[in-house]
Amino acid sequence: MAGTDLKKALIEEGPAIILVEPQLGENIGMVARAMANFGLVELRLVNPRDGWPSEKARAAASKADHVIDRVEVYETVKDAISDLNYVIATTARERDGFKPVRGPVEAGRILRRRFVGGEKCGILFGRERFGLDNEEVGLADEIVTFPVNPAFASLNIAQAVLLMSYEWMKSGLEDETQTPFRGPEMAPAPKRALQGLFDHLEEALEARGYFRPAAKKPKMVDNLRAVLTRPGFAEAEIKVLRGIVASLDYFSPKSPRGSGYPERKAKADAAARERADDDKSGDE
């Protein structure tokens, strides 16, 4: 979805994202983009295979340069997390041990609570091919895993970061259904407007022989009313529908489509009058 607006203030806060031995610059760039989407800016790399910096990463980041420019590189996981107070490790595999295992929603809320409390937090992500080893998971405080298809549980690194970044952002909303913008709030139309639509439409359909056979008309009218009352139209929407119904009166099977519209009809009537006047003059 297009929606980048560099004139607006960037959200720049939250836990550090730590990638262990990422292989491709493109993957790092897509991670940076996912982070920027949800206000995260601190990206740490542990021994990236192709080194750093990476132009491929910058290109794949799609203008998330503020994340790419702040990347820090470390030789080991221990170095990358040494200044953090709380670290949660992501994994798609069941691990032996005694660490609590969280779902992404709960993990996002825990991270938010600790962050607001002044703690430095991080989320640890493993290699593209086989994730984190047991020793690396052992360095974390807790584990987060995603509810995925158990027979196809492996996630692309950028997808995994996107999911946790989304849960981080969502955990800071007043209401988890909150969105950046909403459509207009329109009050339901008063019953008189809805009744006017019914009457208008019924008259238009009657004129066109819609209610056949006549004995079924009451049931057909009931069905029509049931369909039109279900959505709960706003008054502005009622006006749109009545305009559509009214347009049906501007032509008939005997007249060319559109020739009955008011502007064209007025011109046609004027032309007819002129022809009639010419005929009268000729008779005289």
Q: What are the residue boundaries of the structural domains of the chain, listed by start?
A: 16-171, 191-283
**pTM, entire model:** 0.68
CATH 3.30.1280.10 fits domain 16-171: no
- The one-letter amino acid code at 148 reads V
Q: Do 156 and 129 contact (CB within 8 A), yes or no? A: no
Q: What is the mean pLDDT of each run of 10 residues along the chain (284 residues)?
A: 61 92 95 95 96 96 95 97 97 80 94 95 93 93 89 87 95 76 75 88 85 91 85 85 80 51 60 63 56
CA distance 21 to 48: 5
Per-residue exposure over 211-247, b if at least 16 CB sit within 10 Å of its own CB, e if not = beeeeeeeeebeebbeeeeeeebbeebbeeebeeeee
CA distance 210 to 189: 26
Distances from the Cα of 162 to the Cαs of 55, 125, 147, 157, 167, in angstroms?
A: 21, 12, 14, 9, 9
Structural Rg of the chain based on CA atoms = 33
